[in-house]
Structure 1
Amino acid sequence: MVDRRLFLLGGLLVLACAAFLLWNLRAPYGFILGLRFTKLASLCVVGAAIGTATVLFQTIAANRMLTPGIVGFDALFIFIQTMLVLTLGGVGFAGLPALAQFGVEAAILVAAALGLFSIVLRKGAEDILRLVLTGVILGVLMRGLASLAQRLLDPSEFAIVQQASFASFGAVDRTQLAIAFVILTCCLLAALRIARYLDVAALGRGVALPLGLDYDHVVFIALGLVALLVATSTALVGPITFLGLLASSLAHAALPTWRHSRLLPAAALIGAVILVAGQFVFERLLGLQSTLTVVVEFAGGVLFLFLVLRRPRP
């Protein structure tokens, strides 16, 4: 039976989408609606992907303060952008086919993540802490290399890299968006299919194995889904580090349950609501541009500090 709170979250998302599409709508209606719908779809896809991936990653890591970004997805993405601009120049980078660039970036991110997972966890899925620490170190390395390469760029090329380093929903290609939507749908269905196994895996390896769960298999499937979701959304619009932490924390607060069949869709809906409602406020009501991701990162960072510094309950 579907929790009615999921219906409420779905209704909230529908209201936010309607406001985003129809607020202050003027002629030519078809053209304006087309532009708005593309941006709206990208907001929903990215928000749902990041929310779902974060719940999966936190379950496997047994820690609600972590996000997939800690493995270094954002750092690797910025490094890729920097090297493309450095090798091709600003004009060459701007002339890259959008679909090919999206495919190559997503493939590199997925391959890097799966390679990290398979190398670090080759002896079994019990050493998640080592995976997290390795991801942090590699992220620092990628940021350092990107910073070094950026010093070789001229100011105009550096501006291109800076612009590509922040998530942007203003010029999303529809073909890329369709591919990302298909990947998100398949990953979400796969995550829901293994939801009951994730419920057991959340108890920890020591408890899950005696209960008959193939823990390692479930962990590798979940990490593969995380890699696909985060890589696709990052290649589509750019990195958003703390959105998942917000979506996951709100999902656990709205649905205080251990059932992933409810937590996963809740996090997906909340992630989409955060982006759609936030973009509506900043773009439609305040008339601002390119500020949503900064606010999301700030709010997520504050939440992360709160989770780290709060005193545990006795």
Structure 2
Amino acid sequence: MAERKAMPGLTPPGYWHLAWHSRGNPRSVLVERRAVAVNAALALAIAVVGVLYLSLGSVPVSPGEVIAALTGRGDMMTTFMVQELRLPRLAAACFTGAAFALAGVLMQTLARNRLATPGIIGIDNGATAFAVASILGMGFSIAPPAMALAGATTAAAITFGLSAGSGTQGYRFIVAGIGVGAVFGALTQFILARVPIDTANAAYPWTVGTLNARSGSAVWLLGMGLAVGLVLALVLARSLSLLRFKDAVACGLGVKVRACRLQVLALSVVLTGLAVAVAGPVGMVALIGPEIARSLSSARHVPVLAATLAGALVMLLADLAGRTLLAPIEIPVGIVTAVVGGPWLLWILMRPQRSRP
């Protein structure tokens, strides 16, 4: 029987120190109190906004009816509307927002730059171009999720190659990514210009980011990828915290810098490709989610879980606003996040970065 006890004498300020014996071996873990409070608050906010998300629409439903429908105790029509029509879109919003924000915080940590999100360095646009080519049947028979992943990988490889000599650090990497993103954005517009206008109009909302009528299989694949990616990111959490320092310092503290960077980069690319395959290029979530998490969390660690939850919350709020503000006209979620994210980007540029203790 494992024995678990708190060790207050050895606990740093702001932490819980849990120690126990398992199979005769001592085990211990430090749990940051602020991180627990922030993650719990974000999860509670997602739950509240989720109920509101399921309640509002062309046919309003009270929160009580929503909860009854989710537990199978509501009337048939309400249950169908909540479970079959609105709940899948809610899941798509949560998964895509979480994936974009997780990829964003990983990429920002890798580049040591708050602007280095997958959208800004061209990964979003690469995934979009390849996925659009697949959707419009431009000589490809591969499914959009696979093509989006291939496009994200291609864009990341080109950006990394063009920034040779600086790696993933410095503004050369950012500038190379912006250029790659511009090229892939132009390629997407070229593809749309080559197809009939009706076909291009049908594909256009997807290119700016939307959650309307998303493929159930793509959402399921994203959910599985997000679960695995989040576990891997949490495993890499200590190395991520050390990667914020110079390579010599991280190496001296036991981090295999090159291998860790490749792992983080691959994880960011996969998460971005899967998210773009579902919602299109909603890049600003990868900027806003991590920034919210950092503003709420302490500066000691990379807020992996908090950024993931904040991204899901931002995507839920943005899609809810897009569905309801000008109803019955629906604003694509990518446009909503762009309107909010533009001023946010300017605020990030003007706001001094918080120093680490």
Q: Can you list the C-alpha shifts for 1:118-170, whole angstroms capped at 9, x where unaligned?
A: 74688895656544333222222223333444444443233234223121112
Q: Which residue of 303, 308, 314 maps to 2:344?
A: 303
Please state which structure has a larger fraction of its residues in strand: 2
Equivalences for 1:100-111 in 2 at 5 Å?
A: 101-111=143-153
Per the alignment, residue 29 of structure 1 pairs with 78
Q: Return 5+ residue gaps in structure 1 as ranges.
A: none
Q: CA distance change for structure 1 residues 241 and 254 in 2, over 3 Å: closer, same or farther?
A: same
Q: TM-score if structure 2 supplies the norm length?
A: 0.75
Per the alignment, residue 192 of structure 1 pairs with 234
Task: State the alpha-carbon separation in 2 of the partners of residues 167 and 134 from structure 1.
Answer: 23
Per the alignment, residue 67 of structure 1 pairs with 117
Per the alignment, residue 10 of structure 2 pairs with none
Matched, 1:268 2:308: yes
Equivalences for 1:268-287 in 2 at 5 Å?
A: 268-284=308-324, 287=327
Equivalences for 1:12-161 in 2 at 5 Å?
A: 12-23=45-56, 24-25=60-61, 28-33=77-82, 34-80=84-130, 83-84=133-134, 88=138, 101-113=143-155, 115-116=157-158, 119=161, 125=167, 129-161=171-203
Task: State the alpha-carbon separation in 2 of the partners of residues 126 and 152 from structure 1.
Answer: 35
Q: Kindly state the Cα deviation for residue 266 of structure 1 after the two structures are TM-superposed.
A: 0.7
Per the alignment, residue 6 of structure 1 pairs with 39
Task: State the alpha-carbon separation in 2 of the partners of residues 281 and 139 from structure 1.
Answer: 27
Task: State the alpha-carbon separation in 1 of the partners of residues 260 and 111 from structure 2.
Answer: 13
Structure with higher Rg: it is 2
Task: State the alpha-carbon separation in 1 of the partners of residues 165 and 341 from structure 2.
Answer: 34
Please state which structure has a larger fraction of its residues in helix: 1
Per the alignment, residue 180 of structure 1 pairs with 222
Q: CA distance change for structure 1 residues 178 and 87 in 2, over 3 Å: closer, same or farther?
A: closer
Whichever residue aligns with residue 333 of structure 2, its letter is: L
Q: CA distance change for structure 1 residues 275 and 220 in 2, over 3 Å: closer, same or farther?
A: same
Partners of 2:149 and 2:270 within 8 A in 1: no
Q: CA distance change for structure 1 residues 225 and 117 in 2, over 3 Å: closer, same or farther?
A: farther
Partners of 1:183 and 1:229 within 8 A in 2: yes
Q: TM-score if structure 1 supplies the norm length?
A: 0.85
Matched, 1:240 2:289: no
Q: Return 5+ residue gaps in structure 2 as ranges.
A: 1-30, 62-74
Task: State the alpha-carbon separation in 1 of the partners of residues 169 and 116 from structure 2.
Answer: 15
Root mean square deviation of aligned Cα? 2.9
Percent identity over paired residues: 22
